[in-house]
Structures are given as structure tokens and as C-alpha cells.
Amino acid sequence: MADTIARDDCMVPALNDQPSLGLDTAVLNGVIENGSAEQRLALAVQLAGFLGNREASSSEREQLVPVVLKLAVDPVADVRNTLAFHLAAVAGLNADILFSIVSDEDDIALPFLAATPALNHWHMLAVLRVGDAARHITIARRPDLSPEALAYIVKSAALEACLALFDNPAMRLSDREYRALYMRFGQSYEMTERLLSRSDLPLDIRITQAKRASNRMHQLMAERGWMPANDAAELVADAEETAMLRILVDASEAELVRVVGFLVSKSMLTPSIILRAACLGEMHVVERALAHLAGVPLARARDQMAGRGLSGFKGLHGKSGLPQSCYGILQAACDVAHDEREEGIALDSECFGRRLIEALMTRYESMPLKDRTRHLEVVGRFAEDRVRIIAKRLKADIARAA
């Protein structure tokens, strides 16, 4: 101690600008025990400044710890708040001081907890294990959230803290963490909305959520009797498969490999999804699905779909296990895709669908009329909207002519 300085008409001890060994903590304790709230507040500012001084030695810091701890539990909230505010920028803060402030009232503790650089991953875990939801949320929003703290929040924290992770722009969740959150909170609207808004969300979660949503809609329609059961089931199934196909179409090549495997493992890759893709000209989805189902490399599946190889598309279709009723329309789609490559053009879904109808009606001399009609019915369900109209009209014309 060097001298005293006047603050708000009261006398408080002043620390030297240059720290030195052998601090007289008795004088500081005297201010805490006998001084006014204003004196203790001024002392809090000085001690925080001293601890933040990089030239202060570790021994001097340790000498001040008991004094600062007394200020951290001062009966006057303004003193505690001032201390926390000025210590919020101090790195390497003593753990006892840190936890004393963190355990204070929320309006004092939470701003400090959000800002302090002294919080390492051990401290974070300690606060998460004994702290309340408000402290969990504050830690979840820290830009330096440690991997250990993140793992704890994902596995054990309440919904509010897990939602707070999405407010952290520095946060990058892994596929495993996404799946853990969905497993715990997949029934929560708030969580599913947050998850579905993430561009890096694993596609199997998107598909599972689409399945859940369609199941809930089906149940709701059945309970309220909005339409006949069969019509409701068809409507819901159509919406579900449309959503799933959109996910497949938008997937990257690597994602498509994983998600096709996931669909097959869950018995969700139905023939109608593959037919939908074919009718819309999404042949990269068709070829990936057929390669997986047939258990052949993608390059080989492409060759067979192009008519190359000993058995051509017929052999690939046979290995895939798809119903024979799918063969004709898939063959026609493969032929249209081959024409597209030969001509060096890129057909949109409407143009592809129109050519698919043309192929079904003008090629394949051995195809019975009833099969052509059945294939037109499929196109009328799964193709692009304007193509559906054409297919339905052609089907009706064939029926009248028959």
C-alpha cells in the first residue's frame, strides 16, 4: 500500500501503479470490515484493476484472493456487481473468485459468465453440472464453448440450453450431435424447426421428420374425418414421398449414397419413389437406387441402364428386386435419358416427362396396350403437373377407343 485516495468524500487505500511484493491486506480487510459501501465499491474497482494488470505477480494475485472473495459476497449488490463487471475482462482469474461470482444473482452472474475469458473447459463443465438453466443457456452461447461442454449440453442439458446452441454463430455441430438432439427432442416443434433450418443437417433426420409429419397428418385426418380413409392415406403418402424425393434430388453425391442406404435399411425406398424420380427425369436418383438395390457398382448400373453389358437394363432390374410392373416405365426413362445424353441437351422435368410419354406410346412394339395404359397412369400420378394432364388425357382416350 502506498497511500490513500479520495473517492466520493471517503478514504480508501490505493494500490501502487507498479505492483510490488508484500501487499498489506490487513488495510484492505479493514476497509471491507469497517468501511462504507462506497469505500468497498471503490476498493472493488481497484482490486479488479490490479488483478487485470499483467505485471502483477502470481504471488501478489494469490494474496488478494481472500480479499476479493469477501467483496464477491458483499451484502450490497452494487459492490458485487461492480466487482463482477470489472473482473469480466480479467483472464486467469482464480477459480474460487470465478465460481463465487457465477453463483451470484442472475443479473450479476450471467453477464460475467457470458464474458469472462477465465472460464476454461473444466470450469464450463462444473457450471453445467451444478448450475441452473439460465447458466446452461449462457454457456451454450459462448463463442469459446469447449467440445467437452458441448457434449454435456447435447447429452444432458434441458431443451432451452440445447436450443441456445443454435444462437451461437461459432457453433458447428457434427452429424452425431445432430442425431443426439433429434433423438432427445424430436417431438419438440422448436427443436425440429431449428434442426430443419440447418443446411448441414444429416438427410436421414430430414427424411425421418418427413415420415413423422406424414404419420401425424394421417392420424389427424383419420380422427377428424376430413375425407375417406383411402383418399386420406393416398394423399398423405403422396406428400411424404414427394418430400423424400425432394431431399434425394437436392442431396450431394456423398449424401445420396448414405441416404439411399438409410432408406433401404428402414424399408422406406419404395418402388413408387423410384418411379417418381424416373417420371421427373431425376435419373441420378434412379441409378443410385438401382445400383444399391442390385448390389452393383454405380458405373456398372449406369452402363446397364444405357443398354450396355450382357444383360442390359433387364438384368439390372431383375437384380434390384423391383416389381416387374416397374420395368416398362423405367426402361422408357432410361431410353429418354440416353437420347438426352446423345443429343447433348439437358431436359427439364416437363420436357423429360413429355418425351417419356412419347416413348411409351411409340416404342416397344411388343408392349401390350394394357401395359401402356398402366404406365400412363403412373406418369399421370408422378410426373410434372402439365405432363400429368397429358398422360391422363391419353389414358382416357385409349379407354374410350377400347
Q: What pLDDT is recorded for position 226?
A: 56
Mean pLDDT is highest, among 29-33, 245-249, 364-368, for 245-249
d(CA 81, CA 37): 12
Q: What is the pLDDT of residues 247-285, one digit of tens each?
A: 999 999 999 999 999 999 999 999 999 999 999 999 999
148 with 125: CB under 8 angstroms? yes
Q: What pLDDT is recorded for position 9?
A: 40
Binned at pLDDT 50, 70 and 90, residue 219 comes out as low
Q: What pLDDT is recorded for position 84?
A: 97
d(CA 352, CA 332): 11
Q: How many CB atoms lie within 10 A of CB 77?
A: 13
d(CA 214, CA 285): 22
Q: How far is CA 40 from CA 9, 27, 102, 395, in A?
A: 13, 12, 20, 91
The reported pTM is 0.77
Q: How far is CA 123 from CA 116, 127, 129, 149, 275, in A?
A: 11, 6, 10, 9, 56
Closest listed residue to residue 64, CA positions, set 80, 49, 84 = 49
Q: What is the pLDDT of residues 121-162, one digit of tens each?
A: 999 999 999 999 999 999 999 999 999 999 999 999 999 999
* Cβ-based neighbours of 247, under 8 Å, separated by 6 or more: 203, 206, 207, 210, 259
Binned at pLDDT 50, 70 and 90, residue 60 comes out as confident
351 with 343: CB under 8 angstroms? no
Q: What pLDDT is recorded for position 240?
A: 85
Binned at pLDDT 50, 70 and 90, residue 57 comes out as confident
d(CA 13, CA 191): 54
Percent pLDDT > 70 in the chain is: 88
Please report which helix (H) or strand (E) contains residue 13, including its range.
strand 10-14
Q: What pLDDT is recorded for position 309?
A: 59
- Average model confidence (pLDDT) across the chain: 89
371-386 b/e with 16+ CB inside 10 Å = b? bbbebbebbbbbbbee
Q: What is the pLDDT of residues 346-361, one digit of tens each?
A: 999 999 999 999 999 9
Task: Give counts: helices (H), strands (E), the chain.
Answer: 23, 2
Q: Is the pLDDT of residue 207 over 80?
A: yes
Mean pLDDT of 89-104: 95
267 with 275: CB under 8 angstroms? no
Q: What is the pLDDT of residues 220-257, one digit of tens each?
A: 665 665 555 565 566 667 888 888 999 999 999 999 99
**Per-domain boundaries in the chain:** 3-118, 204-401
Beta strands of 22-164 (E only): which ranges?
none
Please report which helix (H) or strand (E) contains residue 4, including its range.
strand 3-7
Cross-strand partners of 5: 12
Residue 280 grid cell: 421427373
Q: Is the pLDDT of residue 299 over 60?
A: yes
3-state secondary structure of 3: strand
3-state secondary structure of 199: coil
Return the higher-pLDDT residue of 95 and 308.
95
Q: Is the pLDDT of residue 21 over 60?
A: no
Q: What pLDDT is recorded for position 218?
A: 53
Q: How many CB atoms lie within 10 A of CB 249?
A: 15
Report residue 27 CA to chain centroid gap.
Answer: 56
Amino acid symbol at 256: L
d(CA 150, CA 178): 12
What's the number of CA atoms in the CB half-sphere (13 Å) around residue 152?
Answer: 20
d(CA 305, CA 321): 15
